[in-house]
Structure 1
Amino acid sequence: MGSMVITVAQDGSADFATVQEAIDAVPLGNKCRTIIRLTPGVYKQPVYVPKTKNFITLTGLRPEETVLTWNNTATRIDHHQASRVIGTGTFGCGSTIVEGEDFIAENITFENSAPEGSGQAVAIRATADRCAFYNCRFLGWQDTLYLHYGKQYLRDCYIEGSVDFIFGNSTALLEHCHIHCKSAGFITAQSRKSSQETTGYVFLRCVITGNGGSQYTHLGRPWGPFGRVVFAYTYMDACIKNVGWNNWGKTENERCACFYEYKCFGPGSCPSKRVTWARELIDEEAEQFVAHGFIDPDPQRSWLAQRMAARIPYSA
């Protein structure tokens, strides 16, 4: 498993001028890690990583300086790929869409620049197993980060939005991330469909901040009736409503949604005032969620081990 490096710069000084051209150059069914290095800049174009273009790494020097941005919404999609390839509506509107497995992004900003009130406007959709994001930023309003399918690991990332801005039915661990609630809404909309599914979102040692207002946002609501979300060791700003969670207007969701907190703190953390159908985990229950095994369950075939706890060096 060697790796190859390709470079992108908009001024023509690198291998390719656009991110998409670099991805297009990766062969389908590739077996070797391909590192696409982006020169600082704002890349205004939708990006699509197709199925079987696996082992792609997108890397920048600093996320503030390396921005992938586009402005599609669920009701207006302008894309170089046909809708039969990327899908329609919320599913197809991601500024970046990743369907290739073992994808890594480091030091990149993924943005949907559609203004507030545009409805669903996804910054990135991850429909791929074993994706990892290190020191990335995800910017948008509604439906910013679509963790749709597969297993994802996010570390040292910044995610902002308003309504359902981390959503989908993947199995995701977000560690040391900063979640910023820009206006009233719901941080998560996890869509687990049955108690058999092992999917869910775990927020481990994260920080939730608001816009200075208090009690205007919920930790989550169940997009699927068995939606599963855990906040552990997480700081919660006063923007979080005392009730914490929302049933999406359906009392029957309260019987099956799995909304948990564990040893959180801050003004927005008040277990005594939470809805009665969400609860605080006890130590034994929390164990399965507060370790990397939640997304990386097979130690014999670990996909995180070789890059856990240390950033991939820029020279990788």
Structure 2
Amino acid sequence: MTKLISVNECDVQDAHSNLDQIELYSTKRAKLDNERDPKTGKLTRPWHFEVVPGFFKQDDEETDDATFDFIDEHFGLKLESWKDVIEKVKELNANAKKNEEYKLIFFARHGQGFHNMGVELVGLKDWDNYWSKKCGMTLEDGTKFTWGPDPKLSPLGRKQVSAVHEAVEAEIKRGMPLPTKFFSSPFTRSASTLVITWKDLLICKDGDKEAESKLLGERMHPLVKEDLRETIGLHMCDKRAKKSDFLKVFKQWGFTVEDGFPEEDIYHKDEWREPLSEQSLRADNFLQFLYENYPNDSTVYTASHAGEIRAFITALGHRQFTIPTAGLIPIVVKGTRAED
């Protein structure tokens, strides 16, 4: 892995703390099995999800997540080739029951943001106890930087994601399947990561020739989903910007926002932090949306955050796995739909 990307203490905590919340999530999710929409009478969460093992090294208990090099390891590819992945997922879907569906989902974390710089400067304890509730700091040399609300990628973060862009290009040449749907957190750091990773591949800017999106000959249009945002509340870096400010930057890159997306961040609370069990329900809600609405898209890319990827891992029953800034983890996911 490029020396730009490495695991730190905060990454490990994001991946391995709050283990009691995993069982609590399972309890909360089970209670929603029979919940129905009062207007339609249909189940609100008809899909159940599980990891299909054997495709990637990250689901192998022998893989050390503290030292795992996702770039050198071809994003964790465990099979002989990406062609094998494509064929096996295709075969799984061809042989699936009518209520079953398989997808390869890339869960990508944003590159280093200015808030991540803040954690490294002050230490995790002081960050959690004090600095996370502030909007920025001034260094002894007078340098000022901000991380809230909605921090941008740091210069290092942009370099990290550029390295991932190069790795994506290399894996595509080795046969990696191309995502046919892109989804993004509503935070600048994640949307910027998506743009830099896929720029001139599947993402291009207004005014650019669509042919310059050189893989498919057409632009992808990432959909922004609130369910992909980082852990809600308390930390100012996890309060999002206004919708209009976000779209001033990212609409030109083809981004659209989900229906009902509010102008202001109506979810952030200054004195409350979303527990992992609740965030995992939110991740499950995104998967419900994905499997219910995109049955023909077997390869999907999401750009989000360390806490959000941890929530997906919890919702899927995947082993806990540390994701560094700009890291990603591909997972083959089986969805099984209950009858309404």
Which has more strand, going by share of residues?
1
Q: TM-score, normalised by structure 1?
A: 0.30
Q: Which has the higher contact order (CA 8 A, sep 6+)?
A: 2
TM (norm. structure 2) is 0.28
